[in-house]
Structure formats: structure tokens, C-alpha cells
Amino acid sequence: MIASNNKKAQLHITETIAVLFIFFILVAFGLIFYARYQQTAVQEKQEQLLASRAMDTTVKALFLPELMCTKGEAEHEDNCVDLIKLTAATPNSLPPLSPATPEPTLSEPPIQPKSHFQDNSEYYFQLFSYSNITFIQVYPTPQQWQIYNKQKTKKTPDGKTIKDWTRKEPTYFTITLRDDLAGTTPQYRYGYIIVEAYS
Amino acid sequence: MAFTKKAQLELGFNWIYMLVAGGVILLFFVGIVVKEKFRAEENLGQDLVRTMESLFTGAQVSEKTKNVIDIGSLADFTLYFDCEDQVTTYGLKETSARAENIVDPIFSPNELKATKMIAWSLPYNFPYKVADMLFITSSNTKYILYSGITTDLFLKEFLKATGSEFNTHQLNSEKEYQTLDPGNNFQIRIVDFTGQLITPTKKTIPLSLQKFDNTKVSAIVFTGKNMFDYYQKQGNIWTKKTVVPLRVISLSDERDAAKYAAIFAQDKEMYRCSMKKAFARMKYVTDIYQSKAKTVIDHYSQDKTKMDEFTKSTASGCLGYYTENEPNIQSSLDSLSNKLTGCIGDPSFSLCEGLTEAAENVQKANQGLSEHGDCVALY
């Protein structure tokens, strides 16, 4: 009788342990599934945010009072950059990038051409965050002005500075560049702006 | 006897076992619910911050347009705006959702609690475009305007510009002020263009406004064309919050962004703080204009032997506006830049009030250039 009772109790505990084991297995599965779903959702959200930030930065760059084409007290010209102001802000223009030019690897911080926005990057970071803004003239002569470039970097244990971003979202927008010094009437040039947002 | 004891032990053990397991499971789900609630609140705040950031960006593109934003989902929360040391802080009260902005000059009441938020931007030209001033208010913030028997031109412009989106009401007489109906609004701002409705001697608050919380009733009183004082409700009387009248720092008479800013700003602190943000940006913009002026001067000063007579005469005429005439672009810009440096570092704000003269000189010199015809204008 005693032996039979012992066996029953043992069976009961084993049963309960088995049920709990299965329950926790199911909970663990649920958690793994939830974590995976969250990971994907977060990634998607980050991509959306990066695209939105790239667009916002482009808009801010297009409507900078520092560079916009003004007409006295009248409304400014949309999507137009004053070439005198642009060259004043970025005295060193660069030759255009050829499509075959490989992207520079960031083993050391990039040497930036002197630019008003780069010199005051502490202030302009609030506007442009981590991004690279370049105005490119296509016609009549190819030319480019990189006004701002700030990449997220980190130091390796051996003291090297390496990039600390994984995604880059480029945005393009066509612009005109107004040259008031070309003659008696302003000359308009054709180009575009590239804004690359880093994340 | 021995059997009974064993059964009791087994039964007790099972109950404790079930309670512990049940408690753990319950805690697990409670934990998930709490975490989700916290996450939902955080998301709400983040969404708000993102919406505000997009709003600031959008304001620069669609300047002069009004955006009515549905914030019905945040109706239970209080939105706050504060500006200190040229940093605007905004977010949801009693949550972790907050953001800082050091660039855009934002003028708003300190608190908003509504289903609709209204954002409006106007370009601040001083004399060239410096920034877009952003005015934020809500559908339940009422602006009560008074200009006496004569219709103030600015009041007329204000009503036309704000349109039906804003919660405004024009008072026709002082008698109407005493019996005004505040309606079911969250806060009231009285705008007195006469300087006679509210004075240090006429400081009794209308009966209908006395039930409001002190922080929710305020007034701006224009004592001169561009001078104003802020008042705040304190019990049943108005308390003047400005020791000396403040000055609207602007040049234009039409769509005067700085004057609108004074009306939408909660108080002296917010007005000065956000104006300083505009002046900080102006310093950077002025740096560019100084470089532009230098480029244009170099252009007009280049070797004149290669020019024909007409070009030579045009060049020297234009150069006059840039370097010789009184006022000229170069010296006016230098003076403006120096005054801006002084203003940004001046905690009393008095140096900022001296900017108007320097900006006016730049405007005059530029007008001369535009009227000359063939000259490259500064802006």
C-alpha cells in the first residue's frame, strides 16, 4: 500500500514537471518569435527614419538662408543656390567625382576642404546631423562643392579612427546655380545636390 | 495516522507549488503589459518629437503657411515649451518624451493641451532672410485683440494673416473687455494695441477671467509702435512682468515676424531667448554675406584697363555702394557683425536692441545698389 502511494505521488510530480516544461518551452518559443519580430520592426523603423532624415536634410540644405538666391525684399527663388555665396562658403571646389572612383575607406578621418559649414559644424550638426552634402554643377562645366561632411566614427583599440555607420541613404535633387558675376544679367547654371545621410 | 500526514504534506506541497508557478506566470505577463505600456508611451512621445522636427523642417519650405496638426491622441497630455540659454526644450509633461532645439526660433505658450496644434512660420528678414520664425499655438488658446476705436493696421493684418484657423476675437470697446466671454478655452492672451486697456493703474482683471488659473491668462500691451510689455494674471489683478518696455527688433512694417513673435511668445524670457537664437543664426548668415561682399568688391576692383568705358563706370559706381558711400555695404556689414557678437553674449539683451540701426544701413546700401541698375546686389 505504501509502495503504491509513493509511485502515485512520483507520477504526479513528474506529470506536473512535464507540463511546466512544455509550458516554458512554449513561452520560450513565444519570446524568441517576439524578439525576432521586434528586431525586424526596429530595423524597418530605422530604415524609414534614415530615409526621412535624408529627405529632411535635403530640404534644409535647399532652403538655407546662407545659400539661397534672394531678390531684395521679394520672395527668394526656389531650388536656386547663389553661386557667390556658395563659393564664399566653400572656397575650395573639387573636380567632379567620376562614377568609377572608389569610395574612400575611412581608416583616418577624411580631410575636408575648408567650408563655412564644416568650420561651424558644432552649430550645423543640429541641422544636418551625420550627413554629407555636396552641390554638383553639371552644366556648363562640371564642378562640385562639398559643404558639409560629418560621419559617425569610433576609435579602435589600436588608436585608429574607423567609420561607425552601417547604412547610407543618398537623396538627389536638381537645382540651379545663379552666377551674378557672369555679366550684366545673372547666368543660371544647372546642377544637383546630393545628401547622404549616415546611420 | 501515517497516511493522513502524507496526504496533508502532498496537498500542501501542490498548493504552494501551484501558487509559486502561477505567481511566476502572472508576474511574467504583468511584466510584459507594463513594458508594453511604457513602450507605447515612449513611442507616443517619440512620434511627437519627430512630428515637431518635421514641422520645423516643413516650416522652412512652406513659409507663411499654417499647419493645423491633429493631436487628438495626445489630448490627455500637456505639451510644454521652454527656452533657456538659446535652447528650446519641448515635450510631453510628466513623460520622458522631450527634445531640444538650438536652431529654430520658436514662440509659443508655455503649455498646450488641445486636440489641435497650430504651427505657422514667417521669414525673419533683418534686412536679409535670417531664419523662419515658428509660432505655435492651439485651437483652445484664445487671442483677444483690442485697438480702440481706430483700427490698427497691424491688427487688421494680424486678423487677415491668422485667418479662421486661429482662435481670435476683436474687442470693439473697453466695455466689451469688462464683459468678455472667454468661452471654453484652455488659456487666454489679451493683445492691447492701444496701451490703455491694461496699465499699471488699470489692473483689475475682468470678472469672467478671474476663474482661470494665473498661468493661463496673460497680456501683451503695445505702448509705442514697436514697444511692448508683458502682463500676467495674479489673482484678480494684472502684474507687469517687464521692468522696462521691450522693443520689437525688426525693419519691416509688413508681416513683421518679430512683432508676431512677441504676440505668440509666452513671456519676456521666451521672446528674448528665441530672438537670440535668430541672432545666433544671423551671425553665421552675416559671415557668408561678408564673404560675398568681399568677392563682389574684388570683382569690381579688378584690372580696369581691360574694361570698356561703360563697364568701368558701372564698376566704380557699384563699388561706391560697397566701399565708399555712406552707408556702404562693407562697413555696415562689419558693424552689424560686431553688434551681433555683442548681442549674442549679452545677458541683458540691451545690445541686441542696437542691431536695428546697423541692419537699416545694410538695407539702405542694398537699396542703392538695386536702384543703380547694373550692380550685383548683396541680397
Query: Bigger pLDDT: B132 or A109?
Result: B132
B376/A180 CB distance under 8 A: yes
For chain A, what's the residue count? 199
Domain count, chain B: 3
Q: Is residue B378 part of a domain?
A: no
From the candidates A84, A117, A119, which should be mutated to test the interface with B, based on the most B CB atoms within 10 A? A84
| Angle subtended at Cα B76 by Cα B71 and Cα B81, rounded to the nearest 5 degrees | 65
Q: How confident is the model at residue A5 (pLDDT cuts 50, 70, 90)?
A: low
Peptide bond before B327: cis, by omega within 30 degrees of 0? yes
pLDDT for B210: 94
One-letter amino acid for residue A143 of the chain? Q
pLDDT in tens, A148-182: 999 999 988 988 889 999 999 999 999 999 999 98
pLDDT for A109: 47
B125/A120 CB distance under 8 A: no
Q: Which of B75, B104, B139 is the last residue of a domain?
A: B139
A84/B129 CB distance under 8 A: no
Residue B235 has pLDDT above 80, yes or no: yes
pLDDT for B20: 86
| Statement to judge: residues B167 and B224 lie in one domain | yes
- Is residue B192 classed as helix, strand or coil in its secondary structure? strand
Q: Which residue has the cell 562645366?
A: A141
Strand-strand pairing, A131-139 and A143-149: antiparallel
| Statement to judge: residues B15 and B119 lie in one domain | yes
pLDDT in tens, B178-231: 999 999 999 999 999 999 999 989 989 999 999 999 999 999 999 987 899 999
- pLDDT > 70: what percent of chain B? 93
Q: Which residue has the cell 575611412?
A: A106
Q: Is residue B259 part of a domain?
A: no
B295/A89 CB distance under 8 A: no
Q: Count the helices and strands in chain B (H runs, E runs).
A: 8, 15
Residue B145 has pLDDT above 90, yes or no: yes
B102/A76 CB distance under 8 A: no
Contact B161, B255 (CB under 8 A): yes
pLDDT for B199: 93
Domain coordinates in residue numbering, chain A? 52-198
pLDDT for A1: 47
| Statement to judge: residues B135 and B146 lie in one domain | no
> How many Cβ pairs within 8 Å bridge chains A and B?
83
Nearest C-alpha in B relative to A73: B128
Query: Bigger pLDDT: A74 or B258?
Result: B258
One-letter amino acid for residue A117 of the chain? F
| Statement to judge: residues B86 and B198 lie in one domain | no
- Measured between its terminal Cα atoms, the distance across chain A in Å is 72
Predicted structure pTM score: 0.87
User: Chain A within 8 Å of B379 (Cβ-Cβ)?
Assistant: yes
Averaged pLDDT for residues B345-371: 92
Query: φ and ψ at B166, to 5 degrees?
Result: -90, 155
| Angle subtended at Cα A79 by Cα A73 and Cα A80, rounded to the nearest 5 degrees | 65
- pLDDT > 90: what percent of chain B? 65
Residue-number span of the structural domain to which B153 is assigned: 142-248
Peptide bond before B200: cis, by omega within 30 degrees of 0? no
* CB-nearest partner of B288 from A20, A52, A89: A89
User: Chain B within 8 Å of A38 (Cβ-Cβ)?
Assistant: no
Averaged pLDDT for residues B89-98: 87
One-letter amino acid for residue B240 of the chain? K
Q: Is residue B268 part of a domain?
A: no
| Statement to judge: residues B326 and B289 lie in one domain | yes
Q: Which of B119, B139, B159 is the last residue of a domain?
A: B139
Q: Is residue B266 part of a domain?
A: no
Q: Is residue B104 part of a domain?
A: yes
| Cβ neighbour number for residue B119 with a 10 Å cutoff | 21
Residues in chain B with CB shorter than 8 Å from the CB of A121 are: none
User: Chain B within 8 Å of A26 (Cβ-Cβ)?
Assistant: no
| Statement to judge: residues B154 and B244 lie in one domain | yes
Q: Which of B231, B248, B265 is the last residue of a domain?
A: B248
Residues in chain A with CB shorter than 8 Å from the CB of B54 are: 52, 56
State the Cα–Cα distance between residues A191 and A8, nearest whole angstrom.
Answer: 86
Cα Rg for chain A, rounded, in angstroms? 29
Contact B173, B146 (CB under 8 A): no
pLDDT for A7: 64
Residues in chain A with CB shorter than 8 Å from the CB of B12 are: none
Residues in chain A with CB shorter than 8 Å from the CB of B61 are: 59, 63
Quickly list DSSP for chain A. -HHHHHHHHHHHHHHHHHHHHHHHHHHHHHHHHHHHHHHHHHHHHHHHHHHHHHHHHHHHHHT-TTTEEEETTEEEEEEEEEHHHHHHH----BPPPPTTPPPPP-SSPPPPPP-HHHHTHHHHHHHH-SEEEEEEEEESS-EEEEEEE---EEE-TTS-EEE----EEEEEEEEEEEETTSSSS-EEEEEEEEEEEE-
* CB-nearest partner of A72 from B252, B281, B379: B379
Averaged pLDDT for residues B61-76: 81
How many Cα atoms within 13 Å fall on the side-chain side of residue A106?
17
Q: Please report the residues numbered 256 through 295 in chain B whose beta carbons come closer than 8 angstroms to any beta carbon of chain A.
A: 280-281, 284-285, 287-289, 291-292, 294-295
From the candidates B125, B282, B288, which should be mutated to test the interface with A, based on the most A CB atoms within 10 A? B288
Strand-strand pairing, B187-192 and B217-222: parallel
| Statement to judge: residues B35 and B134 lie in one domain | yes
Nearest C-alpha in A relative to B315: A184
Q: Is residue B2 part of a domain?
A: no
User: Chain A within 8 Å of B15 (Cβ-Cβ)?
Assistant: no
Residues in chain A with CB shorter than 8 Å from the CB of B252 are: 73
pLDDT for B52: 80
| Statement to judge: residues B131 and B159 lie in one domain | no
| Statement to judge: residues B200 and B233 lie in one domain | yes
- Is residue B136 classed as helix, strand or coil in its secondary structure? strand
| Statement to judge: residues B134 and B197 lie in one domain | no
* CB-nearest partner of A65 from B57, B131, B295: B131
| Statement to judge: residues B286 and B365 lie in one domain | yes
B10/A9 CB distance under 8 A: yes
pLDDT for B10: 59
Maximal CA-CA distance, chain A: 117
pLDDT for B96: 80
Residue B72 per-residue DSSP state = G
Q: What is this model's ipTM?
A: 0.85
